[in-house]
Amino acid sequence: EGTILGIPSIALSQAFGPATRANPSYDTAEAHAPEVIRTLLKEGIPAGILVNVNFPDRPPRDVQGIAVTAQGRRDQNLMRIEARQDGRGNAYYWIGFERRVFGTVPGSDLRALDEGRISVTPLRLDMTDEPFMTRLAQVFEEK
């Protein structure tokens, strides 16, 4: 929301695994986030960009540095969708992924986390595909 409103925005996430799911340790984010945030704000975040920062599932002293990464993709075969009910009894669906090691792409946020590094990923909110938009405009003009 902040990025949409023109506010420089940073999303922070703490990774966890099967052993830490019930009680993720936020010590790593707590120890490293201030310096990461200071660095990002000093550099400046361009308009329309959200910086996504992920902290690995390990103690702060075991972090292997910081990697500037591309957004990774999880194996869709690991996706799990659970039907749930909220506090008012309304149905909703929880979408998640199995937490197990699988092949990750070099340079991705997922690989950085697997390697114990903090991942910093700049994300663009405008995902409009300009060439396809132009093509579609021509197609629909013809109708």
Provide the residue ranges of all domains of the chain, joining segments of one domain with +. Answer: 9-74+102-141
CATH topology of domain 9-74+102-141: Stationary-phase Survival Protein Sure Homolog; Chain: A, (3.40.1210)
| CA atoms of 123 and 11, how far apart (whole Å) | 10
For the stretch 8-63, pLDDT in tens is: 999 999 998 878 878 888 999 999 999 999 999 999 999 999 999 999 999 999 99
What b-and-e string marks burial along 3-19, b requiring 16 or more CB atoms within 10 Å of the CB?
beeeeebbeeebbbeee
- pLDDT digit string, tens, across residues 86-126: 999 999 998 876 655 556 789 999 999 999 999 999 999 88
Reduced DSSP (H G I as helix, E B as strand, rest coil) percent helix, strand, coil of the chain, to 5: 30, 25, 45
- Single pTM value for the model: 0.78
65 conformational bin, left if phi > 0, alpha if psi -120 to 50, beta if neither: left
How many residues in total does the chain contain? 143
> Would you state the pLDDT for residue 33?
99
